[in-house]
Structure 1
Amino acid sequence: MSTDTLIVHRAERWSDRLRGLLGKPQPAAGHALLITPCASVHTAFMRYPIDIVFLNGQGCVVKRVEALRPWRIAACWRARHTLELAAGEARRLGLEPGVAVDLAPAAPHAPIPCRGERGATLVEFVIVGPLALFILLVLMQYALLFHARSQLNYATFEAARAGTVANARPTAIRAAFDRAMTGYHGGGTTTAELAASRARALAEAPFARIELLSPTRESFDDYHSPALAARMGSSGRVIPNTNLAYLACPIDRPACHSDPATNASGQTLQDANLLKLRITYGIPAKKQIPLAGPFMARALAVLDAADGDAFRAGLIADGRIPIVAHTVMRMQSPPIEAGNASNPGAG
């Protein structure tokens, strides 16, 4: 290659190597920064992509990386020197593997730096290493969040399934949820292991809130059946669950307010037979990645300081990370009122 087409600027001191092109404008056409000795580079904090050309000890190109974006790493174990150029320059100048680059005319040999200027790699690692490690920990924490959310979705489904066949009783829903969370707390293959995991799941019960979003108190106001409640021997109000395709109101209340546009619940009789659950659970500190988990919890406390949900705020104050799951399932038994929440309006 002709050196007339390439102007090389050397960066041999550790301070120059550390900074590289950081904070500098994009190299002009035909200009390159030579970092030596160097077999790997990173583009942390860079604002633009660059071309990377790795050279061996004889100045021959052994690898070319085009348009390396910010926050990336490139390396070549056979390289002795590295050229950094503006994106697209390596291809334009024909810097391909096997091409020899004569660096001497543009960059005469410099004296060997003193021992005090060595250790550039260590300095770079001290700056970039902790940040890269923290990012890795955060990614691992996100993976654990998805795992916990998957388990919570399963437990929420099991809780809803139990509720649909048990008249939407909160006790049945809670028992099924706690049982389904056994796997998240260790599971097991023996009776003793399962019992221990079950105990851990029950100990976490105070940190899981189950909200019965439907049927609501207004659902029972609109569609309760006194005759069905008497037949079932229930002291609570009951919503009929049979022949829904043919009924707009309970048989013993044919004049009920069944128009969802104007009634209290905002539901039809069919809507009132949908079991809707929302479960909020706080991932404990012992199931969080060190540094990353506490960082997320503190970030939530700062970013959502005005959260009006006392339960969720309590989880965050306890160092837990809240996750939420929803499910909707058709009732397979008549819903019985048991302290259902009030939620007037559209259902």
Structure 2
Amino acid sequence: MCDRQGMLQQSPLRGPSLNRRARWAGQSGQAMVEFIIIAPALLFVCFAIIQFVLLYQAKSTLDVAVLEAAREGAVNNGSMKAMRAGLARGLTPIYARHADADGVDAALAAAQIDASNFAVITVISPTEAAIQDFSQPRFYPDQGVTYSEIPNDSLMYRDSTTLGPGSRINIQDANLLKIHVHYCYNMYVPLASKVIYYAVNVIGSIGTMGILTHEPANQDPYGAPLNGDALCRTKLVDGIATDRWPLSLDSEAMVRMQSPLRYSAINDSPNPTGL
């Protein structure tokens, strides 16, 4: 009898052990409920971190691409077409999905499309006043054409004290090519891209479900944005259908011209006017 009573007293199904198991089960259930509640927010934070890392990478790539575009313009008489081609080459890594020849070709093709349709290249320097001050006609016998251009030869020997009457700069500074690029980067991380797009553009009232609705609550297909970007905006129904949520990125670069700048070359590839 004594041995049986001792065994009963030591049984793990009785006394304090049973209470501990009950408390553990309750705590486990509570932790599961808390995890279910916080999991969506935690998942969104992870998505947002990934998207911001990709944005940083895109901005760094754009900075290099803009420098590439400026260099192309410097050796091609300030040609906008050449600068756009250089910009596309520099942006190619953003669109790369496969590390093979076909992947490179596809990435370059996609970059060229976006460089033409979703990038605005603005020549900051030289200004129109500087072009008017220093442009001179020059005849090219091999082409049989006369171009109006800013001389680029022997700059170190030209008078740097003479300033243009309209631009108030010298010819050396008139040979500095500075460009600004406004580029629409397409965010593609699920959910985070849409939330960031809505936040950046300060989208207005969007249905009863907020950012998760499929239809705008008003008549404006762009969601009545307060900070809308004419080039980088997208209609909400199109964004939902195509999952394209663009965000504007800007960058500048400046190089010295390595060829005479021509005003006609600056305008040989028009910028997109907006969507």
The answer to whether TM tops 0.5 is yes
How big is the shift at 1:118? 6.2
Measured after TM superposition, the shift of residue 322 of structure 1 is 1.3
2:69–2:84 Cα contact (<8 Å) kept: yes
Contact preservation (8 Å) 2:51, 2:189: yes
8 Å contact kept, 1:217–1:340: no
The structure in which a higher percent of residues are helix is 2
**Paired position in structure 1 for 2:46:** 136
Helix, strand or coil for the counterpart of 1:333? coil
Are 1:245 and 2:156 an aligned pair?
A: yes
* Alignment partner of 1:207 is 2:107: no
TM-score, normalised to structure 2's length? 0.67
TM-score, with normalisation over the residues of structure 1? 0.55
d(CA) in 2 for partners of 1:269 and 1:313?
40
Structure 1: any 5+ residue segments left out of the alignment?
1-108, 342-347
2:244 maps to 1:311: no
Alpha-carbon distance in structure 2 between the residues aligned to 1:319 and 1:188: 22
Q: 1:230 aligns with which of 108, 119, 139?
A: 139
Distance 1:167 1:124 in 2: 64
Q: Is the 8 A contact 1:170 1:338 kept in 2?
A: no
Count of residue pairs the alignment pairs up: 220
Match of 1:186 in 2: 96
How much has 1:189 moved relative to structure 2? Answer: 5.5
1:202 to partner: Cα distance: 2.4
Tell me the distance in 1 between the aligned counterparts of 2:149 and 2:118. Answer: 30
Gap change, CA 1:142 and 1:190, over 3 Å in 2: closer
1:334 aligns with 2:260: yes
Q: Describe the SS at the equivalent of 2:189.
A: coil
Residue from 263, 277, 283 that aligns with 2:185: 283
1:219 shift after superposition: 1.4
> C-alpha distance in 2, partners of 1:245/1:114?
83
How far apart are the structure 2 equivalents of 1:166 and 1:111? 79
Deviations 1:19-43 (A, max 9, x none): xxxxxxxxxxxxxxxxxxxxxxxxx
Superposition deviation, residue 330 in structure 1: 0.7
Q: Which moved more, 1:139-148 or 1:185-194?
A: 185-194
Q: Cα RMSD between the aligned structures?
A: 3.4
Tell me: CA distance 1:234–1:215, structure 2 relative to 1, closer, same or farther (3 Å).
Answer: farther
For CA contacts below 8 A with separation 6 or more, give which structure has more relative contact order: 2
Mapped to 1, the partners of 2:245 and 2:263 lie a distance apart of 35
1:247: how far off?
2.3
> Would the alpha carbon gap of residues 237 and 313 (structure 1) be closer, same or farther in structure 2, given more than 3 Å must change?
farther
Q: Secondary structure at the match of 1:329?
A: strand
- What corresponds to 1:345 in structure 2? none
Cα deviation for residue 339 of structure 1 reads 6.7
Shift of 1:180: 2.8
Residue by residue over 1:286-330, the C-alpha shift from the partner in whole angstroms, topping out at 9 and shown as x without a partner, is xx2111111111111117944475224459986211111211111
Aligned partner (choices 54, 60, 70) of residue 150 of structure 1: 60
Task: Kindly report which structure 2 residues correspond to 1:1-347, keeping only aligned pairs within 5 A, or say none.
Answer: 119-186=29-96, 190-205=100-115, 206-226=117-137, 229-230=138-139, 235-248=146-159, 258=163, 263-285=165-187, 288-302=188-202, 305-307=225-227, 310-313=230-233, 319-338=245-264, 340=266
Q: Which amino acid aligns with 1:258?
A: L
- CA distance in 1 between partners of 2:231 and 2:31 (Å): 48
